[in-house]
Structure 1
């Protein structure tokens, strides 16, 4: 069997590394690899379309830095926050730059990377079960991962392989779809299920408002309400194993990030609604200092006092500077002004991109779905600011691909 090494092997490897490294959950390693990839692929010219997405993120970063001049924060916290706020900007640029070297095999590379990530995840799952004896949903996810936006995107691309013009054989498509689909399912992540539904509906064209799309969306909402009512009526136990444990997570999901009052002395209430506790503390501690912090935030280096120590990952913390909610972290650093700018970044994905090419139109639909999903993602998983997310690279990659294909 003859092994053919492609001319762009290095840039394919670089793309795979940039997508895979964040799954290790070592932020310093992620930002180092992404920064190196940026420097190795830097371009002389960039499109205005890319800058329309990046500039608002840059403004948020600059605003947060300027505001911090009014406070006396630890230098370490300031530098750490700056790198956090830089992450989506670097991701967009790296993805955009790498597309230049992978134009001919763009979607094949995206899919193969997703398959690689999925296989690694399935191996980690086996390790969690047979080595660590994971049984409950909480234990299962602790060892094998909490979510994977990238795999959902890959799964969608595989399901709509004709629209994305994938040229894999039917057998290969079937195998890849099963591997990625099963891996994505086994994260047992409620947000990923929502992401899948949103992106699926978007590619089908149901996010473009018309009578048919409204009928379908209303039907899905009603079905979801009925299904949720059934789950609530079964009253799944909190620490149950397997499916029952997952159903309990679904049961508490609607109120988890939205509760306005948490009993910190009640472990179950506090733990089940921890995201709401972060939001409540952020709003209280930013607004109590007056109008200026409320409007402009408290800058890079600012922290929230949780009023008690909690375990986050493998660390016990009371003061945190990175939250679970993307809107809240922007509010903490840049106030209401930052929130307005941040919302503007989401509107980018709803803007029309004129084309007569089917694959570019499909990418446009995928972007509409991405915009809708960002409202959910930012509320529970920080959106593009999440320390382990990789979709910023994928988005930058697709922006470049859309432009290049549209200009051919």
Structure 2
């Protein structure tokens, strides 16, 4: 079997298991074994550049042990945190190794076609549901997936490849449109606010609107005004939290800011609590940090838990203690303190800065991913999300960012 076929096979194993196997532990073991196999092949090298980029994540990982010492946390929670904090390091390294031995156009095609087959699978699952309708949006999301960012980036790659190259990724127009509409329909069927936000960020970045300059500041203020008008409208109409379909989606949009930032919540009011769950998690984490002022600097450490003060119905038995929050910034702050949080912001900003590099496919999309992580860290833990696959794409893009002639050769 040729080395490229081995790479593709291993890549598909990692991606499909990441998205369709619910067990993080199994996925971590699979990825660790795949990394070991690739290093054994002795044809892959980890460059100093990738090690330099990973340094902030290694430092965050190291800081996690500082808060651990002197405490008596359960071993299982310690291991869970260690693997969670190793996950983005492992994922970025794998993404970098997967695409070392292939051409740029093959990399783009691999991402697009993988997303296409996932989208096809997703649509088939949804169509097999006898209750298929927009009114059953929440049921569809719970049963068939709440998001898929590999499909999201597959769609973006497909749509904007031709903008950067005087070439088409697929020669046959019919193939292009079949893949496009399949990805588009599947992405819509996730009904994901986060995916929608990532697409908007991507389009703005591709057209140069996320660079900090006077023109973009004016445009940003204009967008803020438009969003403000939207929220004035949403708060002026009565939206039922138990509604279905479009009204349910608009209700989710309406409460999105409060869901993340509101911390003054009546725990006995279940309606208010679930509508602002992310804020409640953050509130409890920050409250516990007050008990040990040193935790503001180095965090509470690996193995530490957040006491919710009641058994939340997060599993069949209910959970009073959780180890992570939806808000990734609070999660990192709680575990590794302000030092870890600063390192994370520095790590993400390094990728955002690629938007200021040459206007080419690779640096632009690295910038897109950097901005996406800034946003998704706020809502779904970002690069530390256990189901994140964007990091694999980022690793691949970093391979080609160090090949100055790749665009001339492949375009």
Same fold, TM-score > 0.5, yes or no: yes
- Name 1:255's counterpart in structure 2: 258
SS at match of 2:261: coil
* Contact kept? 1:207, 1:369, Cα under 8 Å: no
Are the aligned partners of 1:64 and 1:297 in contact in 2 as well (CA < 8 Å)? Answer: yes
**Partner in structure 2 of residue 69 of structure 1:** 69
Q: d(CA) in 1 for partners of 2:187 and 2:44? A: 38
Q: Are the structure 2 counterparts of residues 6 and 234 from structure 1 closer, same or farther at C-alpha, using a change threshold of 3 Å?
A: farther
Give the corresponding residue for 1:384.
383
SS in structure 1 of the partner of residue 313 of structure 2: strand
Checking the alignment, whether the CA contact within 8 Å between 1:136 and 1:240 is kept in structure 2 is no
Give distance in 1, aligned partners of 2:153 and 2:202.
8
Q: Is the 8 A contact 2:134 2:244 kept in 1?
A: no
The answer to whether the Cα contact below 8 Å between 1:278 and 1:323 also exists between their aligned partners in 2 is yes
Bigger Cα displacement from structure 2, 293-302 vs 224-233: 224-233
The 5 A counterparts of 1:281-296 are: 281-289=284-292, 291-296=293-298
Query: Structure 1 residues 45-54 or 153-162, which shifts more?
Result: 45-54
| CA deviation map 1:360-397 (0-9, x unaligned) | x2221222222222222111100111011111111111
The reply on whether 1:115 has 2:111 as its aligned counterpart is no
Q: 1:346 is matched with which residue?
A: 348
Query: Aligned pair 1:27/2:14, yes or no?
Result: no
What 5-or-longer segments of structure 2 have no aligned partner? Answer: none
Say whether residues 1:267 and 2:270 are aligned partners.
Answer: yes
Task: Determine if contact 1:118/1:180 at 8 Å carries over to the other structure.
Answer: yes
Note the C-alpha offset of 1:64. 0.7
| Structure 1: segments with no counterpart, 5+ residues | none
User: How much does 1:133 deviate?
Assistant: 9.5
1-structure distance, mates of 2:317, 2:222: 43
Structure 1 contact 64–299 (Cα < 8 Å) conserved: yes
| TM-score scaled by length of structure 2 | 0.90
Deviation at 1:53, TM superposition (A): 2.3
- TM-score, reference length from structure 1: 0.91
Deviation at 1:145, TM superposition (A): 1.3
Cα shift at 1:239: 1.0
Residue number in structure 2 paired with 1:92:
92
- 1:101 shift after superposition: 2.8
Aligned partners of 2:278 and 2:169: how far apart in 1? 43
Deviation by residue 1:310-352 (Cα, 9 ceiling, x = unmatched) = 1226662110112111111111211111111111111111335
Q: Deviations over 1:220-279 (max 9, x none)?
A: 332222233333333221111111111111111121110020111111100000000000
Q: Does 1:198 align with 2:201?
A: yes
CA drift of 1:402 comes to: 2.0
CA apart distance, 1:45: 3.5
Distance between the aligned counterparts of 2:405 and 2:271, measured in 1?
Answer: 53
**Residue among 172, 182, 185 paired with 1:182:** 185
Query: Counterpart of 2:365?
Result: 366
Cα-to-partner distance string for 1:65-118 (whole Å, 9 max, x where unaligned): 233122111111111110111000000000000011332511000101111221
Deviation, structure 1 residue 134: 9.4
- CA 1:331–1:139 in structure 2 vs 1: closer, same or farther (change >3 Å)? same
Q: 1:112 to 1:405 in 2, by over 3 A?
A: farther
Find the aligned partners of 1:248 and 1:85 in 2 and give their Cα distance.
Answer: 34
Distance 1:390 1:352, change over 3 A: closer
Which of the numbers 11, 19, 26 marks the counterpart of 2:7? Answer: 11
Q: Superposition pairs for residues 269-348 of structure 1, below 5 Å? A: 269-289=272-292, 291-312=293-314, 316-348=318-350
Tell me: CA distance 1:268–1:137, structure 2 relative to 1, closer, same or farther (3 Å): farther
Question: Which aligned pairs between 1:99-178 and structure 2 lie closer than 5 A?
Answer: 99-104=99-104, 105-127=106-128, 129-130=129-130, 135-163=135-163, 165=165, 166-168=168-170, 169-178=172-181
Tell me, yes or no, if the aligned pair for 1:324 and 1:382 is still in contact at 8 Å: yes
Distance 1:158 1:367 in 2: 16
d(CA) in 1 for partners of 2:125 and 2:235? 32
Deviation at 1:210, TM superposition (A): 3.7
Distance in 2 of aligned mates of 1:272 and 1:353: 35
Q: CA RMSD in A?
A: 2.4
CA distance in 2, matches of 1:101, 1:29: 27
Q: What is the distance in 1 between the residues matched to 2:197 and 2:133?
A: 29
**Which residue is 2:399 aligned to?**
400
8 Å CA contact 1:135–1:241 kept in 2: the answer is yes
> Which whole-Å CA distance do the structure 2 matches of 1:102 and 1:299 have between them?
40
- What's the CA shift string for 1:131-181, capped at 9, x where partnerless? 799954332211111222222211111111203544202221111111111
The range that moved more, 190-199 or 66-75, is: 66-75
